[in-house]
Amino acid sequence: MHRMVKHIVLPLVVLALALCCACVTQDTGSPATTAATTAPADNATPGVTATTAENVTVKVFHAGSLTGPFEKLKAEFEAKYPNAEVLLEPGGSVDVIKKVTDLDKSADVVASADYALIPQYMVPNDADWYLTFAKNQMTLAYTNKSAHASEITADNWYTILARDDVRWAFSDPNADPCGYRTPITIQLAEDHYKDDAIFETLVEEHSNIKATESGGVWTIDATDPDPDGTRLTIRPKSVELVQMLQAGGIDYAWEYRSVSVQNGLEYIELPEEIDLSSIDFNDTYATVQTKAVKGNGTTLYPGSPIVYGVTVPKNAEHPDYGLRFVEMLIGDEGQAILTADGQPPIAPAGGFGDVPAGLSSLVSRKS
C-alpha cells in the first residue's frame, strides 16, 4: 500500500514541476499587461505627457462671474476626460488668488476677473505664466419688479439710484474686482454726465467710501466700506447680489454684462466711456483708481478695461489636467461657451511669461 502511494505521488510531482516551468517560460516571452489605460493620446494637450487614467480631481479656483461658463466647460471637460472630475470653487478674484498665495491651497487652475491680479499677487512665486482670455463690461442689473424699472435708462440711472425708495448694491472692493470697479464707474460718470455730485450722492452719503482728487486722478478709498445697509448694500461677491435681486431684497446691483445675461436679468448698458469695456478709453479709465486692503496694507486698482486672466499655479496637484482645462477654455469649445454667455473671448489668447509650449498654437505671446 505504501509502495502504491509512492508510485502515484512521484509522477504528480514531476507533472507539477513541468507545468511551473511552462508558466515561467510563457511569462518571460510575453511581458505582463495591466488593466490600467492612459489618457487618450489624441486628446492630450501637445507637450503634456499623458498620464495613467486614474481618477483625478481637477481643482479650479475662479472668479464668481465665471460660474456660468465654467459649469458648461466642466461638463465638456468631464465628457472628454471621463477619469477627471472638475471641482469648481468660485469666489471674489482677490480671495480666490489668496487661497493659493496666502493659504497655500493647491489649485490646478486659477482664473481671475482681473488678469492684472495674477502678476501682481502670483508671479513669480506661485506662477510663472498667465493668459488673457475674455472681456466684459460693467452693467446695472435689475428685474421688472425693481423700483422704477419702467423709468430707468442709460441717461438717468444715477438719478433713479438716488431716490429714497431705491435699494442698490455692489460687491466688496477689498475682495472682488467687480467691487473695486463699481466706484470707478460711478466716479467716471460725473465727467460723462457733467454732474459733479453723483459719487457723493450715491456712495459717500451711504457709506464710509470717500473720493479725493489730486493731479487729475481720483482716488477712491474703499478700505473700510461700512455701507448703511438700507439704501446701499455691499456683499463679498457680485454673484451673491443676483439672488438678492431675484428675491426682491434689492432693486439694482452692479454686475458684469455676462452675469446679467446668464441670469436673465434686465440691465442698463452704459456708455463705453464709463463701462470699462474698451481699450479706446483706457486713458479715461485710468483717471480713477480704487484704494483697497491688501494683506496688512493697501493697494491701488487703477481703472482699466475688464480683461480676464488664467494660469496653472506652481502648486497644482495635476498640472497636466490643468493645462488641458486651459486649452479647452481658450480653444473652440471655450470660445463658443463664453460667447453664448455674453462674455466675448479674446482669440487668440494673450500669453505672458513662460507659457507652456503645448498652448502655443492658441496663444499670441505678449512678453
What are the structural domains of the chain?
49-135+307-365 (3.40.190.10), 138-302 (3.40.190.10)
Report residue 14's pLDDT band, with 50, 70 and 90 as the boundaries.
Answer: very low
CA distance 176 to 112: 10
For 186-207, how does the pLDDT look when each residue is reduced to its tens digit (9 = 90+)? 999 999 999 999 999 999 999 9
Q: Who's near 98: CB < 8 A, 6+ residues apart? A: 121
Per-residue three-class SS string for 175-215: CCHHHHHHHHHHHHHHHHHCCCCHHHHHCHHHCCCEEEEEC
Phi and psi at 71, nearest 5°, equal: -65, -40
When computed from its CA atoms, the radius of gyration of the chain, rounded to whole angstroms, is 28
86 forms bridges with which residues in the sheet?
58
CA distance 80 to 334: 13
Residue 317 pLDDT > 70: yes
> Tell me, what amino acid is at 113?
A
Q: Who's near 15: CB < 8 A, 6+ residues apart? A: none
Confidence (pLDDT) at 6? 39
Closest CA to 142 of 118, 130, 160: 160
Task: Count CA atoms closer than 13 A to 158's CA, side-chain side.
Answer: 24
Confidence (pLDDT) at 309? 97
> Tell me, what amino acid is at 191?
D
For 259-315, how does the pLDDT look when each residue is reduced to its tens digit (9 = 90+)? 999 999 999 999 999 999 998 999 999 999 999 998 899 999 999 999 999 999 999
Please give the DSSP secondary-structure letter assigned to residue 276.
Answer: S
3-state secondary structure of 153: coil
CA distances from 354 to 123, 127, 326, 329 (A): 11, 9, 15, 19
- Which pTM does this prediction carry? 0.81
- Specify whether the CB–CB gap between 43 and 81 falls below 8 A: yes
